[in-house]
Structure 1
Amino acid sequence: MIAAFFGADGRSVSAHAVLVATLAAAAGRPATLARITRPAEPRLPRGTRLPDAVRVVELQAASAEAAVQAACEAATARDREGWLILDLPAECLAAPSLRAHLDAAVLPVGPTPLDEHFAAAVLGDPRLVPPVQAGPPAPVWLLGCGRSGGEPAVARFERSMRAAVRTGAPDAADAIRALPVALPRLGPSDAAGLVVGTLTSRLLCQGLHLIAAIEAAARHPSAAPLRRQDLAESLGPAPSAGGGADHRDTGERLRDLAEALEAIEEGAGPSPQDLADAPLLEDWDVGLRAVRALTGVVSGHPDFPRPCRIRTSEVYASDGRTWVRTYSRWYRLGRAVGDTAPTTLQ
C-alpha cells in the first residue's frame, strides 16, 4: 500500500498525521516513512526515534521535479509486503507520474479557517488537482486534523471545506471527498510521544481507523461519499467502535466547552453549524442529579445509534427553548414535557 500525504500548511499538520499513520501501520506490518523536503523546509527533529518496524528515509530535493523523482523512486523500491507512506510538498500533486504510483492521496487539513483556506487553494488549482471528469488519478482525500467529536466532526469538516472551495473554485466543490475519520487535537503527551515513536492509546485507536480509511479509499477510489461502514474489511464487523463514536478525553471536552461558552458570552454561539450536527433531545425535562442535567429521548447521538432515553451530562448553558450546551456537546431541543419546562436554564 502506498499512501502520500501532501502538506499545504507549512508541513507541520501533515507531518503529525504522517507519524500517526506510520506508527499505526507498523503495528501490523513493516512500514516505510519517506519524507521529502525542499531546501527551505526542516527535517524531522534529531531526537525522533521510531520502532524497528519503521524505516525512515528523509531526502532533500532542490526542485519540485526532483521531489517527484525521489518519491517515484521510493515507490518503485518499496517493500511490497508493507506500507510506504510519503510525506510530500503539495506541489507534488501536479505530477501524474507520481500519482500513478499511489493507492491513496491524502491532504491533511488543520482545524482553523486559515488551514481550510490553504487546502481549498490547493483543491481549486487545476494544475495540482485535475477535474474529476479528467479521469485518473483518483481524487484527493481530505483528512481533518485537530478535530474531535467523531462522525459529526467529520461531517462539519466536509461541509466547511466544500464551502471554502466553492468560494474560489465552484466547479471543484462537488468533488470534495473527506476520509470518514478525523485526527483529534494533540495533547502534550500525544505530541511528545510522536517524536519518540510511541502513540498514546487514543491516538493508536484513531491511527488504526485512519489506516483502515486509507485502505477503504484505495479499494473504492471513486466512492462519494466513503462511509464508516466501508472500513469493515480492515477493522472487522464493528467499524464504528472507536473512531466514529465520540471518544474525546476530559481535556478535549473542557476545551470544546470553554470555546462554546466564550462564543455564547460574545453572542456568537451557538452557530447554525453548531446546531446542524447536534443530537435532537425530545421529551426533555430538567433531570435531578448532583449537577444540573436534562433527560429525554435522543436521536442523532454519535454514541447511541438508535433513539433512546438518556440523562445528559452537566448543563452549562441553554436558552431554555431551542438549544442546550452540556459538558459533552450541543443539543437541539425539541418538544418539552408538558408546559412546565423553564424558559431559561442559564
Structure 2
Amino acid sequence: MKISSLGWVFVLIFISITIVSSAQAPPPPKPKPAPAPTPAPKPKPAPAPTPAPKPKPAPTPAPKPAPAPTPAPKPKPAPKPAPGGEVEDETEFSYEMKGNKGPAKWGTLHAEWKMCGTGKMQSPIDLRDKNVVVSNKFGSLRSQYLPSNTTIKNRGHDIMLKFKGGNKGIGVTIRGIKYQLQQLHWHSPSEHTINGKRFALEEHLVHESKDKRYAVVAFLYKLGASNPFLLSLEKQLKKITDTHASEEHVGIIDPQKLSFESIHYYRYSGSLTAPPCSENVIWSISKEIRTVSSKQVKLLRVAVHDASDSNARPLQAINKRMGSH
C-alpha cells in the first residue's frame, strides 16, 4: 500500500515527538545500592563452664592410738642358790655343748648367771705344773668336822650329799677365815685336769663362810678299786635310781671318814663350776689321786636320770692364776 505524502508527514511528526519525549524524559533514578547486609552478630563465646567445685578432701581421721606394746614376758627368776652357792634345781641349764642351755649359753639364761659368760676368774682350769708358783705359806690342807644328819639329793645333773643345817664343825680354815661344810657332789669325768690329763671322777666338798664366801676342796679319782665312802652310799643311790625320787634320807655321816688331810695340793682363786658361777671361791685340789670303780661312776650318772654322759664344765682360761703347796 502506498502512503501519501500527507501520511509521511504524520509519521515524521510522530517520530519527532517520540524522540523529543525520549530526550526530555529524566533518566530513571539510579537504583540505590542494596544496603550492605548487616553482619550477623558474632556469636558470643559460650561462657566457660564453671568448674565443678573440687570435692572437699575427706577429713583425715584422727590417728588411732598405737596399740600398747605387748609387754615382754618377765624373765623367769633364776633358781635360788642352795647352801654352798650352787642351785639345787639344775634343770634350768644343761651340759650339752651345742644346746640352747649348754655351757656356752649359761651366762644368757638369767641375769643372775651373767658371770658364767663374762667372768675372768672362772673354773675349772687345767692345773699345769709349769704355771704353778710353789708356796709353803698355805700349810697342810686339814679339816675338822662333826658327824651330821644328811640327805642325798638328785639336783638334775649330779648327786648332792647335803648336810642339814651345815656341818657345825669348824670345817676348814683358809687365810684365817673359817668355812663350814655345806654339801658335797660329784662330776664325771673330772672338771679340773692336771697337765692336760682328765680323770674319771671329781668330788667337790663345798664350804661356806659367814660372809657368803666359798671354799671348795676337790679330790680327783682314777678307775681302780672301789671307793669306801661311795660304797656306804650305794643303798641310797640305788633307791634314787629305782624310784626316780629327788631326795632320800641318809642319816648320820661323819665327813672325817673322807680322809681329808693332804700335804700337797693346788690352790687358786676361781668360781663355782655351775651357775651362778660366782667368783668368790678358793679352790684347793688335792694332788693325791684316789680310786673309784667304773661301777660306782656309772651309778652316780645313772642315778640322776640325765641323758648326758657328762656333767663336767669345759675348761676355762687360767689368766695367770695358780699356786701350789
TM-score, normalised via structure 2 length: 0.24
TM-score by length of 1: 0.23
User: Which protein shows a greater Rg?
Assistant: 2
* Structure of greater relative contact order (alpha carbons < 8 Å, 6+ residues apart): 2
Q: Answer 1 or 2: which has greater helix percent.
A: 1
